[in-house]
């Protein structure tokens, strides 16, 4: 019945988020998620490898968008300037839905396994940015330092944005925090 129904992934994602918030991530099964949408567990697995993927789907697109922006930065850009372009690109993916991001953050923060997965995602992003900087001719350890610093800016900015009760402009906050990092690192 629902095999070819459009929007199944979005419906499954929304049902999962609701159940994770109501019952907790660990207490929610794939069968319950599928049942809430009127779909089957088999349909769930056509869209998501496991119930964690509901929360982390899109990580590849985020990484691709950030690396592309870093690579497309002007050749004259400093390593941190290129990382800044990547951070700016991240806001297109991360800054779309404050309410959803707040819910997702609360679910992940309440589960050590999910927190670990989030940290792995950040480490993967840092490695990809570092590789992109090396492709631009930035030597080590400069490439890794710039990439890791950029990920710290991303994490701090996103944490502040997502825990803020009112949505603000993530792009503006990202830019401001990147400037703050530069001020902090040059202050005597």
Q: Are 124 and 153 in contact (CB under 8 A)?
A: no
* Domain assignments of the chain as residue spans, ordered by start: 8-54, 58-186
The pLDDT value given to residue 6? 59
The CATH label, of 1.20.1250.20, 3.40.50.1110, 1.10.357.10, 2.40.40.20, for the domain at 58-186 is 1.10.357.10
Distance in angstroms (rounded) separating the CA atoms of residues 123 and 136: 20
pLDDT tens-digit readout, 123-182: 999 999 999 999 999 999 999 999 999 999 999 999 999 999 888 899 999 999 999 998
Cα–Cα dist 132/62, whole Å: 14
Q: How confident is the model at residue 1 (pLDDT cuts 50, 70, 90)?
A: very low
Give residue 185's pLDDT band: very low, low, confident or very high (50, 70, 90). Answer: confident
Fold assignment, 8-54: Arc Repressor Mutant, subunit A (1.10.10)
By the 8 A CB rule, do 153 and 181 touch?
yes
d(CA 86, CA 73): 9
Judged against a pLDDT cut of 60, whether residue 42 lies above it is answered with yes
């Amino acid at each position: 019945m629902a095999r070819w129904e459009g929007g199944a992934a979005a419906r499954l994602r929304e049902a999962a988020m609701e159940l994770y918030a109501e019952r907790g991530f660990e207490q929610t099964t794939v069968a319950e998620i599928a049942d809430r949408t009127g779909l089957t567990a088999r349909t769930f697995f056509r869209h998501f490898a496991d119930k964690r993927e509901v929360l982390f789907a899109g990580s590849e697109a985020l990484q691709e968008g950030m690396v592309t922006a870093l690579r497309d930065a002007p050749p004259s850009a400093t390593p941190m300037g290129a990382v800044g372009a990547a951070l700016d690109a991240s806001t297109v993916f991360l800054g779309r839905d404050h309410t959803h991001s707040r819910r997702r953050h609360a679910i992940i923060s309440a589960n050590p396994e999910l927190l670990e997965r989030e940290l792995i995602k950040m480490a993967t992003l840092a490695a990809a940015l570092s590789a992109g900087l090396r492709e631009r001719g930035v030597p080590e350890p400069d490439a890794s330092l710039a990439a890791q610093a950029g990920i710290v800016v991303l994490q701090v900015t996103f944490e502040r944005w997502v825990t803020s009760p009112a949505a603000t402009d993530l792009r503006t906050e990202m830019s401001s925090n990147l400037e703050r990092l530069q001020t902090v690192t040059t202050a005597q």
